[in-house]
Structure 1
Amino acid sequence: MSALVEAAAGLALGAAAGCMLGATEDPVDATLAAMTASGPLKPVLEEVRAVGPLGLGTLMGATALTAAMTSVIVGVVLAAVVAAAFVATGSCGPAPRRSAGLWVSAGLAGAVGTALAGAGFGMAVESVVQNHGMLGLLWALGVFTALKTPLSFVLAALWRRGEARCTLGRHAEREQVEAAEWQLRQRTTLQVERRMVALEAGGAAGGAAEERVAWAAEQKLRVEMETRKTRSEEAAVEQRTARDWVRAVVTRYVDLLAFSGVPMTLVAVATAGLGLAGYGGHQAALIALLVLVVAIAYLLMSSSDFQFWMLVGVMAMIVSFVVAMLTLHAGQQAVEAARKLREAGRGQTRESVGGRMDLQSSLEALSATVFVARMCQLGLGAAVGGALARRAAGRVEVTAGAAAVAGLLLAAVEVLAPALGDGGRAGALLGVVGAAGVSVGAALSAAPEGQPVSWPGTAGRVAGVVAGALAAGRWHAVNIGLQLPVAYVFARIDPV
């Protein structure tokens, strides 16, 4: 019965996370349909001839992944700042990791920050593409990638300043405890001296009784002081542990912000340059792109100081390459369809075939870009949720809390959709996917360190996530079937 109860509880928990993930399918698909309409697609159609299908695919893939990763990192840093503020101010008491206020506030800050950053990036990308085309997007991506490194130094400096204030607050509290302890020692010493003087002078019994009462009171104060000192030391240890873990998380994600987008930006710039030179769909450009991707991946993966941002950077670069290949393949499919029509006696002009190629390439680039951005948000969110469930808060709290926050954000995005526009809505919805990924990652995470694995509970959670995602996602089996393995892998990765 115990195993059965664990399986049932895991099934319910996994279903909550899976339902939230599945609930994002229809809104994201509706936004994609709006973005691929004739009006919003026109700037992309006009520029595909300039940079070529390979350049279009890598540029759009790199832009979407950069925006997705940056919005997740903004959310993580905001959540870490809120958590550090709770630890620094002592709002958590002697056991900060069990404070409900800390996790609620940090979770809300992270989820809302991710959604707002995603909406901002979506609106910015939409504005750049409509006003300046793909070349403007290429410049914007390059400038933003170059600025992320100094931005990471600014974030690190602000974080160190906040930590210094936290340390000063802890020192002040310790000094208060030490001052009270010193005063207690002084009073005890005076009491002992007075008793010795009274004994030497042959004091009365009433005076002895008063001394005993005073001595008992001092003893009680001494016990209370020792208890306070012990609790203060325990709080200091817990706060230092929490602060060290938060610092490690911030360091890793700031590195991710600064460096992970560099490989795919280099690939996007190279392929866009080949496209501008007239080799956007040539076999030589494809070979050069493949060689560049393999070379960068080899240099990063063979590094002796391998870090989390290197793994994410290589994966993002390879995904951008896949988007470029899908974009090129879509144009080739249009050519193949035209060839079949010609063989059937329905000849077409070169202009009509070229227009169909550009349309198919643009549609595929947009569709693949939205899908890979969704995967990126889900994976990074799952990494955060898995780490929280293993190291800090409980699995139930993170799973249920993240699912509830994602549901509230989804409702808010749907209400604000007219004001956000297509790009802003797409970015905000991807932020909601990141919040749902936190819930899924917590449900699929490994057992905390030092605790045994509950196989019935694990099986129940996995089954619940799959069933909930398929049911709430209206049986989008292909999309969900590709997303869940990514979420599972990232949920088991320790970014710290």
Structure 2
Amino acid sequence: MAQCKLGVSSPLMKAVVGFALGAVAGCILGATEDPVDRTLSVMTAAGPLKPVMEEVKTVGALGLGTLIGATALTIAMTSVVAGVILAAAVASVFVATKSCSASHTDSVSLWASAGLAGAFGTTLSGATFGIAIEWIVKNYGMMGLLWALSIFTVLKPPLNFVFKILWKQGEASCSLVSTDWAREREQIEITESQQRERVAMQIEQRILMLEKGVSTSGMEPNTWVTERRQREEIERKKMENEEAEMEQRTIQDWINTVVVKHVDFLAFSGIPMTVVAIVTSGFGVFGYGGHQSVFIVLLTLVTLIAYLLLKSYDFKFWMLVGCMGMLATFVIAMLTLHAGQVVVTTAMKMRAAGQSQQSRENISAVMDHRSSLEALNAAFFVAKLCELGLGATVGGALVRRAAGEVKVITGAALVVLGLLAGVEVLSPVLGEGGKAGALLGVVGAAGVAVGAAAAVAGMWSSWPGTLVTIAGLVIGAIGMGKWHIINIGLQVTVAYVFAMINPF
């Protein structure tokens, strides 16, 4: 483990600060639990759930599960990437125009502005997608959602190519606008040239005076001391300018790497999920949604895609997350199918005992309701885990980048509190779909704080420090999360794993 730098020397104080940082991150994660649960309860009420129930017979239980799961995960991934791109754009402008201090790493304005932009972009993107999906489902049903998801997946790779070109042009424009370094370098060169000319003239005058037999010993000490000091000052400014310019280029290169990685991730990670959703929905449309062969085809397809991705010569982070998203979609489909089968099994047992008076239509309605309910619940929870994990990846990277543990965690926590209040105020305008998407974005912002705390835990030089920080994270999350121990434990575990991954 690397040594964690918290700005304190005492081991006890380091443990206290580590526990406090973990507790802050855990509390802000727990604070998102209640708003998310309330929104999900509204979405799974009888009225909002009706359009989804009506489509079970169209695409089948497996198709419904994979379609809702793939859509929810796509929203989560897209909103996080949108936030990262906006944050990177703001940070890039700061770095290119030297709007922050000489030391970009320690600049509060740089990280604060980028963090606010990223959180706002993630939340706004999630709300926009939530509103759009709610409108599509109400007006065009699951088939409309399938078409929208398919078109979006097909468009992402070419848009990825176009975005990279535009990003390079924007970076070049920022470089042209920013002439501060060139002006400073030119000014230093002019000053250095003038100083050399002055010294040369002084030497020449001294030679002439010596030739004439005039003594120069009286003026020599003061003159050469002054010139030496000026020369040292010029060298110091030159060195500082070169170091600052190199630091600027290093941070800009890191920002570009982050953007490219996330854009590649957005372009390709959704393809496996969408393929699975298209195949299972297609079987449902042709009347084989509940057939056992569909399960075999789905399992074979998931296994084949996962094998091809894992065996890829250049295995990347987005491939790993794409596999995880596809497997999560498969699990959601299984849970959706299982919910309907439980209803059938229960009805058969009750009928065998002579207790059931339900008709086949009633049983079918209950099956559709249970399947739809399970699909939404599972998809929403998996999307929340995805947002949290991707946010934790960013938070962990910022801490490793020496952005400052306290600044990242407390800053993200304050931003999340502001976003929660803002979403609550704007909920009548957003609607249930928009509010759900926005809250997923807020969870992503909370994931930055959790990932930063997890990175702090991993950077301790001793296990007690790591355990104390994780204890603060877990205790804070459980305390604010209304003692949802299993859910919180799973979320903290996912965030810790993603925070330890360094895809950049």
Taking structure 2 as the reference length, the TM-score comes to 0.93
TM-align CA RMSD: 2.0
Within the candidate set 392, 398, 402, 1:392 is matched to 402
Offset at residue 217 of structure 1 (A)? 4.0
- The question of 1:157 aligning with 2:168 is answered no
Offset at residue 167 of structure 1 (A)? 4.7
Offset at residue 31 of structure 1 (A)? 0.3
Judge conservation of contact 1:9–1:460 (CA < 8 Å) in 2.
no
2:91 paired residue number: 83
2:5 paired residue number: none
- The question of 1:375 aligning with 2:385 is answered yes
1:290 paired residue number: 299
2:263 paired residue number: 254
Gaps of 5+ in 2: 1-8
- The question of 1:432 aligning with 2:437 is answered no
Offset at residue 424 of structure 1 (A)? 0.7
Offset at residue 269 of structure 1 (A)? 0.7
Offset at residue 39 of structure 1 (A)? 1.8
- The question of 1:16 aligning with 2:24 is answered yes
2:376 paired residue number: 366
Judge conservation of contact 1:406–1:435 (CA < 8 Å) in 2.
yes
- The question of 1:3 aligning with 2:14 is answered no
1:198 paired residue number: 209
Judge conservation of contact 2:18–2:456 (CA < 8 Å) in 1.
no
- The question of 1:40 aligning with 2:45 is answered no
- The question of 1:415 aligning with 2:432 is answered no
Offset at residue 102 of structure 1 (A)? 0.7
Change (3 A) 1:84 1:463: same
1:39 alignment partner AA: G
Structure 2 Cα separation of the partners of residues 99 and 489 of structure 1: 28
Judge conservation of contact 1:7–1:459 (CA < 8 Å) in 2.
no
Identity of aligned residues (%): 60
Change (3 A) 1:90 1:5: same
Question: SS where residue 83 of structure 2 aligns?
Answer: helix
Offset at residue 240 of structure 1 (A)? 2.1
Which is further off, 9-18 or 332-341? Answer: 332-341
1:294-325 deviation per Cα after TM superposition (whole angstroms, max 9, x unaligned): 00000000011000110010000000010000
Taking structure 1 as the reference length, the TM-score comes to 0.95
1:31 paired residue number: 39
2:72 paired residue number: 64
Within-5 A mapping of 1:95-114:
95-114=103-122
Change (3 A) 1:27 1:268: same
- The question of 1:174 aligning with 2:185 is answered yes
Judge conservation of contact 1:94–1:231 (CA < 8 Å) in 2.
no
Structure 1 Cα separation of the partners of residues 402 and 143 of structure 2: 45
1:132 paired residue number: 140
Which is further off, 339-348 or 14-23? Answer: 339-348
Structure 1 Cα separation of the partners of residues 464 and 370 of structure 2: 47
1:237 paired residue number: 246
1:364 alignment partner AA: E
Gaps of 5+ in 1: none
1:406-446 deviation per Cα after TM superposition (whole angstroms, max 9, x unaligned): 11111111111111110111111111111111101110116
Question: SS where residue 280 of structure 1 aligns?
Answer: coil
Structure 2 Cα separation of the partners of residues 408 and 214 of structure 1: 62
Question: SS where residue 445 of structure 1 aligns?
Answer: helix
2:3 paired residue number: none
Which is further off, 46-55 or 239-248? Answer: 239-248
Structure 2 Cα separation of the partners of residues 160 and 447 of structure 1: 36
Structure 2 Cα separation of the partners of residues 469 and 395 of structure 1: 18
Structure 2 Cα separation of the partners of residues 171 and 262 of structure 1: 45
Change (3 A) 1:172 1:148: farther
- The question of 1:54 aligning with 2:65 is answered no
2:72 alignment partner AA: A
1:68-95 deviation per Cα after TM superposition (whole angstroms, max 9, x unaligned): 0010011111111122222111233432
Judge conservation of contact 1:3–1:456 (CA < 8 Å) in 2.
no
2:6 paired residue number: none
Judge conservation of contact 2:339–2:374 (CA < 8 Å) in 1.
yes
- The question of 1:118 aligning with 2:118 is answered no
Change (3 A) 1:166 1:191: farther
